[in-house]
Amino acid sequence: MQTTKKRTQPDIRAIARLIPASGNLVQGQNDVALHPALAQALNETVAEGLNHYSFFEGVDELRRAVVEELRISSGVSLDAERRPLELIITPGATGALVTIAHTFLRDASAIVFEPYYPYHKRTVETAGGRTDVVKLRGENLDLDVDELRRVCREGKSRNEQPLKAIIACSPANPTGRVLTRSEMEAIVACANEFDLLLISDEVYEHFTLEAADHVTAASLPGAFERTITVNSFSKSWAVSGWRLGYAYGPGALIGKLTQLGNIYYVCTPTPLQHALARVLLADPKYYDKLRADFARKRGIINTALEAAGFRVYPSRSSFYSWARIPERFRDATELNEFMIREAGVAGVPGGAFMDEPENDVFMRLCFAREDSMLEAAAERLVRALA
């Protein structure tokens, strides 16, 4: 009997090591220069001696600034002083996800939407859990709500690793897919119907083409009391190495994260928190400028990809391009090897974000780079493929 060999998922970090910085469209990080005001604030906080432990939940100045930002941008009302805590500063979004998994999802399962962000699966697995996959279908990556309800029903009926949560990521890594209000409402309805925790990853909220494109899950009717929202400053402030993220929600949920989080991390870097707190609200137009800058970068890379024979998914966000590869290539790994060899440019084969793709014919490319680097990489890509 002939058996089909299972595909090995591409290793994103391994690919990144194969390519120089001048062609790295692999890693999902914002490589633009640090904002001058933030750099100055960091120098000041270090010089002032703010280099010691903070409490696990984060420094008060940053927590209050985040609460105000959420009120302005998302319409979510939190109280920075309330106990149990409604908001905590975490070591990146990953620190929040790990703590959530080990607090709420031990030996349980959570739903992810495929193509998915691999760390959503891995953090659940570190707690002895598993993920149930709901595939987004077709060229438009459609969400089938009936399929979601079926997976919820089956997961809730299991004795081993029962379903406890839905993980929604919008805008999504890797595709840039932005869930509409009606889709988010359907997900909230499923969470309510099946009594599930909703974990909403909104790290890319400020990279939608228009601010109104993003729907904050916790702002929807019936959502807040069962939703933990995870976010990060890594992308929006180009500080991925600083490890500054946060999680918020009702005190009944967020308060439970502090015990394990304190053991795992002790605190998020104190001087970095103080530095960000000083600039976070200083420029009311900061995120508007960010959206405009990244819409331009999106145009640079998508124009090049289309000229090179890719079919680009028309997302409503601007951090990643998700594209079907040119037809003359058998699969994305083969194409990526060609790109590395002939253009000195690499992305990530789509199989890194799927359990068992029938055909690995998609690729994710991160264009969060300085314009000069992006333009040069795009030119080499077109020259090699056109």
Query: What are the respective helix, strand and coil percentages of the chain, to the nearest 5?
Result: 45, 15, 40
pTM: 0.95
**Predicted confidence (pLDDT) per residue in 306-322, tens digit:** 999 999 999 999 999 99
Name, in order, each residue with C-beta under 8 angstroms of 28's C-beta and a sequence gap of 6 or more.
12, 173, 174, 235, 319, 320, 366, 368
Beta bridge partners of 90: 245
Residue 196 CB coordination number (10 Å): 21
Least confident of 15-29, 183-197, 237-251: 15-29
Question: Which residue stretches of 118-243 are H helix?
Answer: 118-126, 145-157, 181-193
pLDDT at 144: 97
**Predicted confidence (pLDDT) per residue in 103-135, tens digit:** 999 999 999 999 999 999 999 999 999 999 999
**What are the helix and strand counts (H, E) for the chain?**
13, 11
Judged against a pLDDT cut of 70, whether residue 341 lies above it is answered with: yes
pLDDT at 5: 52
Least confident of 7-21, 114-128, 129-143: 7-21
Judged against a pLDDT cut of 70, whether residue 2 lies above it is answered with: no
Residue with tokens 């103080």: 274
pLDDT at 10: 84
Q: Specify whether the CB–CB gap between 41 and 275 falls below 8 A.
A: yes
Mean pLDDT rounded to a whole number for the chain: 95
Name the band, by pLDDT with cuts 50, 70 and 90, for residue 1: very low
**Predicted confidence (pLDDT) per residue in 49-80, tens digit:** 999 999 999 999 999 999 999 999 999 999 99
Q: What percent of the chain has pLDDT over 90?
A: 93
pLDDT at 7: 64
Q: Specify whether the CB–CB gap between 270 and 50 falls below 8 A.
A: yes
φ, ψ at 199 (rounded to 5°) = -105, 110
What mean pLDDT comes out for the span 12-17?
90
pLDDT at 268: 96
**Predicted confidence (pLDDT) per residue in 24-36, tens digit:** 999 999 999 999 9
Q: Specify whether the CB–CB gap between 116 and 125 falls below 8 A.
A: no
Q: Specify whether the CB–CB gap between 164 and 133 falls below 8 A.
A: no
**Predicted confidence (pLDDT) per residue in 146-181, tens digit:** 999 999 999 999 999 999 999 999 999 999 999 999
Judged against a pLDDT cut of 90, whether residue 373 lies above it is answered with: yes
Judged against a pLDDT cut of 80, whether residue 4 lies above it is answered with: no
- Rounded to whole angstroms, how far apart are CA atoms 53 and 50? 9
Q: Which domains does the chain have, with CATH numbers?
A: 12-28+285-385 (3.90.1150.10), 37-279 (3.40.640.10)
Q: What percent of the chain has pLDDT over 70?
A: 98
pLDDT at 3: 43
The residue among 166, 232, 164 whose CA lies nearest residue 202 is 232
Name the band, by pLDDT with cuts 50, 70 and 90, for residue 358: confident
What mean pLDDT comes out for the span 84-106?
97
Residue 193 CB coordination number (10 Å): 12
- Rounded to whole angstroms, how far apart are CA atoms 60 and 27? 32
